[in-house]
Amino acid sequence: MQNRQMVYRYIRENGPVSKQDIVVALQLSLPTVTQNLEYLKKQGLIDASRKIKHTGGRNATAYTYIKNAKTAIGVSLTANHMSVVAVDLSGEVIGLVREKAVFDLGDETYLKKLGETVELVKETAGISTERLLGVGISVPGFISDDGEEVTYGRTLGFTGRKREEIARYIPYRHFLVHDSYAAGCMESWENHRITNAFYISLGNSIGGTVIIQNEIYQGDSRKGGEIGHMTVVPSGGKTCYCGKKGCFDTVCRATNLDTYTDGNLEEFFLRLKQGDKKAEKMWKEYLNHLSLAIHNIRMLFDGSIILGGYVGAYIGDYMELLCQKVDARNPFGDKAEQYLLECRYKVEAVAAGAAIFYVDRFLKSI
C-alpha cells in the first residue's frame, strides 16, 4: 500500500489524530507524512480546521477525514420497486428514494423514471456532479464478463439487455451488478468479523455470494454462490421459476411465508410473535429447510454464513432456535452461534452494495 493511502486510511479509521500520531503509528518520516497530508487536504479529502487539546504546550492540528468528500449512488431494481440510495465514504446511506415501479426494461417510461429517481436522490442528498463517483445498478440477474450485458434475467425476462440501454437516462459513470453480489459485498465490506463468508439472500428469490479473503468469488462463469438452484427436494418438489423441480428457492424464498399475509412479511412476523399456529407451523418448516442449507454450506466451506434479504431482516429473534437446528446436524461440534450471523444492513442492502463498489474502488485509488 502506498504511503498516501496508509495515511488516509489511518485518519479515516482513527481520526481525529495529530500529525505526530500518524508518524508514530505508521513509522513514517515527518516530511513524508506532511507531504501526504498536504496532498489529501488539497484533494478535499481531509479536514485540518480543528485542534486537539493538550494539557501543556501548543494544541496540535486535528486531522479527520471528510465523509462526504465523495459519494456514490446505488440502484436496486426488483419486480415491483426501484430503490435508489446515496452513500458516503463511510458507507452510510445519506439519501434514499424507494418507488413502486413494475420492472420493464423495454419500457421507455420506466427507464426515464429510473433516470429521474437517480437525479432526485442526487439533488436531495446535495451531491454535486464532481463529487459523484458513479452509479451502480443492481439487477436480479447475471452479468457478462465485460459487465456490458445481462446474461440471465431470471423471471423478469430481460436476458440480453445492455448496460447502455438500462442506463440511457443516467448521465454519469455507471455499471451493472448481480443483486446478490451487491448485497454480499455490502455485508463483507470493512466488516472485520469476516474474512471468508457465504452470504445467503433470503428474498423473494434466493441468492448467494461466496466471499473469500474479503473478495467476491464469482466462479468460472459468474454464477458462483447461486444456491437458489441447489436441488434440496430430490423428488416431488415444487417447480422453481427456473423450470426445474425441488430447488432450494422453492422452500426458502420469502414469498413462502408472506403468502399467508397477502405479501406482507412484516405482518407474517407479527402474527408469528402473537402465537398464530399456522404461522408457527410455516416458520418451523422454513427453519428446517434453512438449517439444512446452512449446514451443507458450512460443511463445504467452513467459513461464516450471513443471513440477509427480506427474511434476514427479521431473523434476529429466531437466531437461537436456528442455531440449535444447525448444531443438531453438525458432526464436529462447531457452534453455529460462532459462525452464523444476521446481516448488518437491514434496509436497502442491495442498492447500497451497488454503490459501495464505487466507494471501495475510490478508497483503493487514493
State the minimum distance, in angstroms, from the CB of residue 158 to Zn ion.
Answer: 18
Nearest to 200 by CA among 214, 189, 212, 211: 211
User: Is the CB of 134 or the CB of 228 nearer to Zn ion?
Assistant: 228
- Fill in the per-residue mask, 280 to 299: x = in contact with Zn ion (CB under 5 A), - = not in contact: --------------------
Which residue's CB is nearer to Zn ion, number 159 or number 195?
159
Asked if 268 and 250 count as a contact pair (C-beta separation under 8 A), the reply is no
**Would you say 17 or 252 has its CB closer to Zn ion?**
252
Give the whole-angstrom CA distance, residue 105 versus residue 100. Answer: 15
Concatenated DSSP letters of 106-143: T-HHHHHHHHHHHHHHHHHTT--GGGEEEEEEEESSEE
Angle of the 277-301 helix axis to the 265-273 helix axis, nearest 10:
110
* Residues in contact with Zn ion, shown as a per-residue x/- string from 224 to 253 under the rule CB under 5 A: -----x----------x-x-x--x------
> Residue 351 and residue 85: Cα distance in Å, rounded?
6
Question: In the bound complex, what is the minimum distance in angstroms from residue 247's beta carbon to Zn ion?
Answer: 3
Nearer to Zn ion, 197 or 247 (CB): 247
Angle at 191 between CA 140 and CA 206, to 5 degrees: 25
Question: What CA–CA distance (Å, rounded) separates 74 from 93?
Answer: 10
Which CB sits closer to Zn ion, 154 or 295?
154
CB of 238 to Zn ion, least distance (A): 10
Q: In angstroms, what is the minimal distance from the CB of 150 to Zn ion?
A: 18
**Cα dihedral sign, 116-117-122-125:** positive
Q: How far is the CB of 249 from Zn ion (least distance, A)?
A: 5
Q: Specify the 3-state DSSP secondary structure of 211.
A: strand
- In this structure, how many other beta carbons lie within 10 angstroms of the beta carbon of residue 4? 17
d(CA 208, CA 301): 13
Binding track, positions 179-218, relative to Zn ion; x by CB under 5 A = ----------------------------------------
Stretch that binds Zn ion, among 50-58, 79-87, 222-230, 335-343 (CB under 5 A): 222-230
Q: CB nearer to Zn ion: give 81 or 244.
A: 244
Q: How far is the CB of 152 from Zn ion (least distance, A)?
A: 12
Residues in touch with Zn ion (CB under 5 A):
229, 240, 242, 244, 247
